[in-house]
Amino acid sequence: EIDDMYSDAESQKAMAEKMKGEYEEKLSSANERSEEILKDAHRRALLREEEILRDAEAKAKRTLERAEEEIELEKKKAVNDVKDELSEMAIGIASAVIERDVSADEHRELIDEFIEKMGSGS
């Protein structure tokens, strides 16, 4: 009977060691799998970060380009406005000269007024 008990104990010990080995193998496999999952998640996060940065840079570039285009349009508009104003003033002076016979002094005076108006912006 003692031999049977001893044999049973040996058998149970062997089974326990086998189960322990299987458990350690499963644990090791689970650890490897969790590391793979973490690495994959990290890789995907980095890719997403790069994508977000590319999108943000592209959006900022488009915004800057639109702002530069608007500035250029405003410059052209301002130049055209000044040209229109100068044309109107020149026509006004020419009309005044045509309407009356102007002496050289009066002509200089009209030109000075024209230049003064240009300088004051009105």
12-69 pLDDT, tens digit per residue, is: 999 999 999 999 999 999 999 999 999 999 999 999 999 999 999 999 999 999 999 9
- Domain of 70 in residue numbering reads as 2-120
Q: Per residue in 86-98, pLDDT tens? A: 888 888 878 776 7
Smallest CA-to-CA distance from 122 within 92, 95, 97, 98 is with 92
What's the CA angle centered on 34, arms 31 and 36, to 5 degrees?
110
Domain count along the chain: 1
